[in-house]
């Protein structure tokens, strides 16, 4: 299994090189040159497996230059009961919303209470094994732009991993207080965290610029280092996410919710498009997914694209109560465009160039026909998000975070508009305790809310009786280690200074 670049498919690399580099030298994203196709017998066999068994099967089929033992080592070390609070790291909880049964796939039981743990607990194992194959003796410098959850999950995953350094950039005023505290108190001798003045797109653009600046890459090579990424632009981030959609389907069959072979819909709160794209890859492998419900907050650039074919980032940016979705440039959409254009790298490159230079592009009719057949795009604003948190709690005693609430709301819109009640797998991406103030203010009057972040956590716990994730409870007494704030134009300088490179 080899990999191409989305913007130059003459570039062909192994899985190990794709994971090590993170992004192609031409600025494109790595995509598999073929998709494993699973038969009915393959899926029936996976019904008998646990989560780790399914992960070994799927990951092994994509990482052909990894031995069976290497894949097993990655999986067994990543998805432990100690890290995820049980043998199944991605349990399904049933809830009712406005008369619609929802199968909520909880992806936030890992060490940082966000879905990013599902990939970022295994990526360090992928990366260290990839480096040993392709770049022996070099130190990997992991650069991360985060809108909240990726940063902490990456820091926790790479903490004190030999042969790596990790630097995380986040928007100073674009993450929740709990997300900020998670990152600024991060332990580990090889970690660094820095705020930027700007939004997530500024951070993401800055990281991509550093990756593709030849002079900086040369300086790293001279010092036996190379850049890699822990963002979902890295195939090693996206691949593990395919697993939990396949596993969720198997669980729904095993618990009698659906019959084997039945179609399901998938609903995902979407920012950078990686999480929903993973489910699309699962469909290409044979999973019977009927519709992909792409849910956005007020930053509804994806909703507009799905409904009009025009991707336009030149619009008002909203800082919302669902900050991990406050994104106007959804990087992983590039991979979907490559698939829908049947590998037309020149077309994809023209779109990405237009986005960079003009701020927008318009997909052609052949892409849009395929897109609208499978995708539904919807969004909800702050008021609707808060109402959804309150409604699903009152109807099902289910406590939702702000991002999951967006997906629940948009799924409701989809059912109302189409009448389609195909069973749904809805991705729940974060613990509600990461956004205590927003969740509390959705349930009780704002004047009754405590002032400090950790008092809010206690108040939400007392009000609902739901468990506070232990990693969040421990943050209260941790020391803040990182307080730098820089302009996004100074990110390159910051990285080189932190690495001790002139």
Nearest to 161, CA basis, from 193, 139, 133: 139
Torsion region of 310: left, alpha or beta (phi above 0 gives left; psi -120 to 50 gives alpha): beta
Where on the phi/psi map is residue 129: left (φ > 0), alpha (ψ -120 to 50), or beta?
Answer: alpha
Give residue for tokens 């029936």.
44
Provide the 8-state DSSP code for 311: E
116 an active-site residue? yes
Assess contact for 163 and 134: CB atoms under 8 A: no
Residue 461: CB atoms within 10 Å: 15
Query: What is the DSSP-derived secondary structure letter of residue 138?
Result: P
Q: How far is residue 12's CA from residue 18's CA, in Å, rounded to a whole number?
A: 9
C-alpha pair distances (Å), 500 with each of 219, 289, 490, 494: 11, 49, 15, 10
Closest alpha carbon to 156 in 189, 196, 187: 187
Angle (deg, nearest 10), helices 123-134 and 235-254: 140
> What H or E segment, with its residue span, contains residue 480?
none
The 3-state secondary structure of 219-251 reads: HHHHCCEEEEECCCCCHHHHHHHHHHHHHHHHH
**Cα-Cα-Cα-Cα dihedral of 381, 387, 388, 390, to 10°?**
150
The CA distance from 483 to 250, in Å, is 45
d(CA 359, CA 350): 12
Cα–Cα distance measured from residue 449 to residue 467, given in angstroms and rounded to the nearest whole number = 19
- Tracing tokens 């108190």 back to the chain, one arrives at 185
CB 300 within 8 A of CB 325: no
Catalytic residue among 48, 57, 82, 116: 116
- So which residues are the catalytic ones? 116
């Amino acid at each position: 299994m080899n990999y191409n670049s989305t913007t130059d498919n003459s570039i062909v690399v192994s899985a190990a090189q794709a994971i090590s580099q993170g992004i192609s030298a031409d600025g494109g994203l790595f995509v598999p040159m073929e998709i494993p196709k699973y038969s009915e017998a393959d899926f029936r066999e996976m019904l008998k497996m646990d989560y780790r068994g399914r992960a070994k099967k799927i990951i092994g089929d994509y990482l052909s230059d990894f031995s069976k033992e290497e894949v097993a080592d990655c999986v067994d070390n990543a998805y432990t009961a100690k890290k995820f609070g049980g043998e199944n790291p991605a349990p399904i909880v049933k809830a009712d919303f406005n008369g619609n049964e929802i199968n909520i796939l909880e992806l936030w039981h890992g060490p940082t209470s966000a879905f990013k743990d599902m990939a970022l607990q295994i990526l360090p194992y992928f990366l260290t094994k990839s480096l040993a194959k392709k770049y022996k003796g070099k130190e990997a410098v992991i650069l991360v732009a985060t809108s909240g959850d990726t940063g902490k999950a990456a820091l926790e995953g790479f903490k004190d991993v030999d042969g790596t350094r990790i630097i995380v950039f986040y928007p100073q005023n674009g993450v929740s207080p709990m997300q900020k505290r998670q990152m600024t108190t991060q332990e580990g001798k090889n970690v660094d965290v820095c705020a930027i003045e700007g939004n997530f797109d500024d951070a993401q653009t800055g990281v991509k610029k550093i990756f593709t600046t030849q002079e900086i890459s040369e300086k790293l090579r001279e010092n036996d280092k190379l850049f890699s990424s822990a963002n979902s632009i890295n195939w090693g981030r996206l691949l593990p996410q395919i697993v939990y959609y396949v596993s969720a389907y198997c669980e729904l069959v095993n618990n009698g919710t659906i019959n084997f072979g039945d179609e399901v819909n998938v609903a995902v709160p979407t920012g950078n498009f990686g999480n929903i794209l993973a489910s699309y890859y699962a469909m290409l492998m044979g999973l019977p997914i009927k519709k992909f419900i792409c849910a956005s907050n007020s930053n509804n650039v994806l909703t507009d694209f799905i409904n009009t074919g025009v991707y336009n980032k030149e619009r008002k940016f909203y800082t919302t109560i669902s900050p991990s979705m406050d994104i106007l440039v959804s990087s992983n959409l590039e991979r979907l465009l490559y698939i829908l254009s049947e590998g037309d790298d020149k077309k994809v490159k023209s779109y990405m160039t237009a986005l960079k230079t003009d701020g927008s592009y318009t997909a052609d009719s052949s892409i849009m026909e395929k897109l609208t057949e499978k995708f539904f795009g919807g969004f909800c604003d702050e008021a609707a998000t808060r109402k959804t948190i309150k409604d699903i709690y009152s109807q099902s005693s289910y406590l939702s975070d702000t991002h999951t609430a967006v997906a629940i709301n948009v799924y409701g819109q989809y059912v109302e508009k189409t009448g389609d009640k195909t069973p749904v797998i809805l991705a729940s991406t974060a613990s509600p305790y990461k956004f205590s103030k927003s969740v509390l203010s959705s349930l009780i009057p704002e004047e009754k809310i405590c002032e400090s972040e950790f008092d809010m956590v206690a108040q939400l716990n007392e009000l609902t009786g739901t468990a506070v994730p232990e990693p969040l409870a421990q943050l209260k007494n941790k020391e803040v280690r990182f307080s730098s704030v820089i302009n996004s134009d100074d990110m390159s300088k910051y990285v080189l200074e932190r690495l001790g490179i002139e």
